[in-house]
Chains A and B, each alone.
Chain A
Amino acid sequence: MSCEQVRLQIGGDPGNSTAELEQHLRDCESCRQFRAEVRTLDANIRRALERPPAAAVTARFTASWRPWALAASVLLAMLAVLAVWALRPSDTLAREVVAHVQEEPESWLARQQVDAQSIDSALRSAGVRLDITSDRISYAQSCWFRDHYVPHLVVQTAQGPVTVMILRNQHVSGRRTFHEQGMSGVIVPAPPGSIAVLTRGGANLDALTAQMLQDVRWLPDAP
C-alpha cells in the first residue's frame, strides 16, 4: 500500500485496519503519526456528536451570558442576516465567494491533477461543460452555494493556484474586481450566469478569466 492509500483508509475509517495497513505502519513513521492524530480527532468527533448541535451552542452561551443579552444577540444576528439578504446579490456575492473558498482551505493545497471524470462530475451537476480538460486543474468539487450546486475548481498557474467558481445562477451586470480577506478576484458576466476567479497571491487573473469565458459551455438541461 502507498502512503496515500493508507491515509485514505485511515482518514476514511480510522477505527478499521487490515494486516496490509498495519504492515505499512510498522515501516512508516509519518503514517503512524497521521493515524494517531486522526484517532484523537475521531474521539473528539464522537464526543462532539454526543450532544445535539443547538444544545451545545445554547449551553455555551447561556453559561456566559444573561438571558436578555442572548435575546438581544439573537435579534441583532437576525437583523444582520436580514440586512445581508436585503443587500444581495450585488454587494455580497464577492464576499460569499470568498467565504466559501475560506471554508475549503484544503482546496489551495491540492497539487495533483484531477482526472477528467472528476472534473466532469463537478461540472455536470451545475449544467456546465468545459471545452477543454486542463491538466492544471488540481481541485474539482461540486459545492452548494446560494441554493445551487456550483463547480469549484482550482487551476495551477505559473503564479500559483487560482480558484474558479462557475455561477450559473448568479447574474452580474458587469465585470467587478474585489479584494477581501487576503484574496483578490474578479467576477465577470457569463450569461446566463457569471464566473468568479480568485487568487491569494499576485497571479494575473485576466488570461485565465478570458480562457474560462471562452471554454465554459452552459448545458440546456441544467438541474
Chain B
Amino acid sequence: MRNSRPESPVSSIGERLSGADPQASVTQLFESMRPDLLRFAHWLARDRSLAEDIVQESLLRAWRSRDTLKDRGAARAWLLTIVRREHARLYERKRLELVSLDEALESQVPAKAADPEGDLFTLRNAIMKLPIEYREPLLLQVLGGFSTDEIARELALSSTAVLTRLFRARNKLRAFCGMSPAPDVSTSEAAS
C-alpha cells in the first residue's frame, strides 16, 4: 500500500469530467493545492511515500465530501484538515514511527553549521525530531495558517493547551539549535 502509486482520484475524476462540468473546477481547485498538501503531509509523516498515500486518500475523501465545501476560499484549510485527520488515522492505526532516511543519516550531519543555510538545515532536522504532539500544532499554525482556537478545535484541546504545546515546540527547537530554552510554563494541558 505504502509504495503503490494508485492513479490519482482527482485526476481520473477530472478526466471523466468535461470542461463544461462545473465540478471540473473543483478538481482543478483540489489539484492546485496538491503541492501544499504534500508538503504538509510530508512534514507530518516524515516520509515522502507515506505522505503521498495520505494526500491521495485525503483528496479522495475530499472529493466524496465536496458538497460540504460551501466556501471555496476555505478550501485550503479544509483540505489541510482532512490531511491531518488522515495522518492521525494512519498514525493511530499503525502506530507508525518511521525512521526515515533523513534520520538514519542524521548522525553524520554536523550539529550546527556556520552558514545560514546550515542553520536552516539544523532547524529542519530539529523540526523532524519534534514529537508529533508538538510538531502537529506547529505545522498547523505555521504551514496551515490556523489560529490557536482553530487548532484547539481540530485537536480537541483547550486554547491554553495548544499555546503550551506551541511554546514547548519552539522551546525544544531553541534547545536543538543551541539556544538556551526559556523556563517551561507551568500551565498544564490537562487542567486547561
Contact = CB atoms under 8 A, between A and B. Distances in A.
Interface of B: 38-39, 42-43, 46, 48, 51, 95, 97, 99-102, 104-105, 108-109, 119-121, 123-125, 127-129, 131-132, 138-139, 141-143, 148, 160, 162-168, 170-175, 177, 179, 181-191
A4 B142 contact: no
Interface in A64-86: 73-74, 77-78, 80-81
B172 A104 contact: yes
B129 A103 contact: yes
A49 B190 contact: no
Instruction: Bin the interface of chain A by size.
Output: 35 or more
Contacts of B139: 49
Contact of A118 (B97, B100, B177, B191): B191
Interface string A32-69: 00100110011011111101111011001100000000
Contact residues of A: prevailing secondary structure: helix
23 contacts: A7-B183, A7-B185, A8-B167, A11-B168, A11-B170, A11-B171, A11-B185, A12-B163, A12-B166, A48-B123, A49-B39, A53-B42, A53-B43, A54-B101, A56-B121, A57-B109, A74-B105, A77-B101, A81-B104, A105-B175, A106-B175, A115-B186, A147-B97
A144 interface: yes
A87 interface: no
Nearest to B47: A54
Interface of A: 4, 7-9, 11-14, 16, 34, 37-38, 41-42, 44-49, 51-54, 56-57, 60-61, 73-74, 77-78, 80-81, 103-106, 109-115, 117-118, 120-121, 139, 143-144, 147
Given A4-B186, A45-B173, A49-B139, A54 B100 contact: yes
Nearest to A7: B182
